[in-house]
Structures are given as structure tokens and as C-alpha cells.
Chain A
Amino acid sequence: MAFMTLFIITGAVAVAAALGLLFARNAVYAALFLVLNMFALAVLYLMLGAPFIAMVQITVYAGAIMVLFLFVIMLLGAEQLKEDGGPIAWQRPLALVLGVALLLEVTYFVFAALGTGVRLLPPPEGFGDPHAVGLTLFQQYLLPFEVTSVLLLVAMVGAIVLVKNGRARAASSSEAGEQ
């Protein structure tokens, strides 16, 4: 019962934060709402027996990734943007209808396939703690882990190259403009 109450409160916080992201006028507020959403999800991960993933969620997602987002928002000065309907007038009503249709579909299939049966078995001892996750990661998933390191390296080099080229091009175009 305590778990159910906690789930309802945390789920309400997560949904409210997501709606805040949807409706926030200011991009910085939207980013902070997303941080709140990620903290709520970390609490849900803890309830689901995934303490390691919950901590990684807070440090990597709410910490590193969102700081990068906030940094770029403030760097570009793109907090406020005129949010009118855009060139296609029927886009937003259609988006709402399609979103509701998607939600109804998924809800139907989730409850049809899984039901609302309560599984009372507690998780096995040590399920999801860093020890168990580490053993599985470095035995069963060693190759994907190494591929991930290459992916991060490629992403880092790619980000640097993209920004560096942009600066060179902007500098050359401004020089051309002066001449």
C-alpha cells in the first residue's frame, strides 16, 4: 500500500513535469522541468529494484546531459521564442488527436496483455545492485561495453569537428563580408 501511494505521488510528479516541459514558455524552465522529471524517474527506478540505474540516471542524465542543455540554451540566448502555430494551421490539433490515439492504443494493449495482477514476489537478494550489474556488464555484455567507448569517442570527435568547422566558416564569411 505504501508502495502504491509512493508510485501515485511520484508518477504524478513525473507527468506534471512532462506537461511543464510541454507548456513552458521559457526553454530554461523546460529544461528544469525535465530535470524534475528525471529525478521522479530515478525514484521509480529505486522502487523497481534498480539502485545503480537510479544513481546513473541522476548523475549522467539530470547532471551531465541537462547541464549541457542549459549551457547551450544560455550560450545561444534562445530562452524565449515566439510560439505561434507555425505555417501549418492544422498541425497542432492533429498532433493532439494523434497523441491521444497513441495513448489509448498503448493503454489498451498494456492492460490487455499484462492485466493488473499484483506480483508479490520480492526481488532476489542483491538484484540490481552495482555488484550484480557490474558482473553482468563485464561478463555477458563486454563487447557492447567496448563498442560504447568507441561510440563516445566518435561522438566527442564529431562534436568538436562540427563546432570547429562552423567557427572557421563563420570567420571566413565575415571576412568576405568585410571585403
Chain B
Amino acid sequence: MVPTSFYIFLAALLFTIGAVAVLFRRNTLVIYMAVELMLNAANLAFVAFARQFEALDGQLFVFFVMTVAAAEVAVGLALIVTIFRTKHSVDIDAMHELKG
């Protein structure tokens, strides 16, 4: 069997790659996907701990995280589409002022 710490380490690695991608990339959609990657890494940690403590609560939290992520993606992509209509760009540097 694989120790739980290995799974948590993998989750940490994926989370770090996601965080660096948020800071590296300029495309808003890719930044958004990197946020999804970080959510997935947190989910992996949840499931790993659920396995270690043999409690289903961790898996149910993953279920709720997925639902919230779906809602977040729907609203976030609608925001990006709306911003694209006024700025005609998905470059993160185009969104440096609050006035639309």
C-alpha cells in the first residue's frame, strides 16, 4: 500500500504547479484552469485523509467542492465573456481598471 504522506505530497506538488501557473500565465482562461487544478489538488488531499481515517466525510467534502467549482466556473466564464465584449482581449493585463 502507498503511505498517505505520498498522496499529500503529490497534492502539494499539483497545488504548487497550479499556484505558479496562476502567477506565470497571462491568459485569463488558463489562469482559471490553474485555479481548477489547485481545487483538484485539495480534493486529492481530502480523499487521501478520508482513506486514512476511514471516514466518508472527506469524500463528501470533495463532492461539495466539485459542486461549488461547477457554479464558480459557470459564473466566472460568464464574467470572462462579458469582459471580453468590452476589452476585446483575455489578457490579464487588459483588466487593470474597474471602469468597464
Contact = CB atoms under 8 A, between A and B. Distances in A.
A137 B36 CA distance: 24
A87 B92 CA distance: 11
Contact of A21 (B21, B56, B86): B21
B63 A124 contact: no
A69 B73 contact: yes
Interface residues of A, number: 93
Contacts of A15: 10, 13-14, 17
Contact of A48 (B3, B7, B70): B7
B78 A162 contact: yes
Contacts of A86: 26, 93
A30 B5 contact: no
Contacts of B90: 76, 78, 81
A61 B63 contact: no
B21 A72 contact: no
Contact of B51 (A27, A48, A103): A48
Nearest to A117: B3
Interface string B11-24: 01111111111011
Contact of A119 (B4, B40, B81, B82): B4
Contacts of A119: 1, 3-4, 52
Given A49-B51, A50-B59, A78-B84, 8 more contacts: A18-B17, A72-B29, A81-B90, A94-B23, A106-B9, A106-B16, A155-B74, A158-B78
